[in-house]
Homo-oligomer: A and B are copies of this chain.
Amino acid sequence: MEIDFQKSGGLVPAIVQDAGTGEVLMLGFMNAESLAETQQSREVVFFSRSRNQLWKKGESSGHVLLVREIRVDCDSDALLVRAEAVGPGVCHEGYRSCFFRKLEPDGNATVIAERTFAPEKVYGSEKTR
């Protein structure tokens, strides 16, 4: 089967969902190379759009994502990675999930989760995640 990487300039969005709880943890992008590395290593590797290079999730924090299953959607242009998250959280802001804010009808955002770790202790001054 062919993944349609062309619709978004060589990238497809990849949703990461906690395989145990069903919580949606984050969304990243993958190119063909990062998907191949993810499948081979069974740890999630994204393509970083800001750094324009492969980005192994957890490379500095140790908070890697162990792949349990990869699903592909009907149009073959989006991936759903069901994974086990190692560590207290995937978000560089110190939360279990990157989706820790609720968008209110008035356009404001409200934090709806508790911090699970202190990001400055995990990431230091480095910006890799």
A contact set with B: CB distance below 8 Å = 1, 7-8, 13, 15, 17, 21-24, 26-27, 39, 49, 69-75, 78-80, 91-93, 95, 98-103, 105, 107-109, 112
A17 to B74, CA, bound (A): 16
With known contacts A15-B27, A27-B78, A102–B70 Cβ distance under 8 A: yes
Give the complex CA separation of A71 and B8 in angstroms: 23
Q: Is the CB of A80 within 8 A of B99?
A: yes
Cα(A74)–Cα(B21), bound, Å = 20
Task: Choose one: B72, B80, B92; the contact of A24 (CB below 8 Å).
Answer: B80
Is A98 within 8 A of B73, CB to CB?
A: yes
Q: A15-B27, A73-B99 known; 9 other A-B pairs, CB under 8 Å?
A: A1-B107, A13-B13, A17-B24, A27-B73, A39-B103, A70-B102, A72-B99, A72-B109, A78-B99
Asked if residues B99 and A26 are in contact (CB atoms below 8 Å), the reply is: no
Partner of A108, one of B1, B13, B100: B1
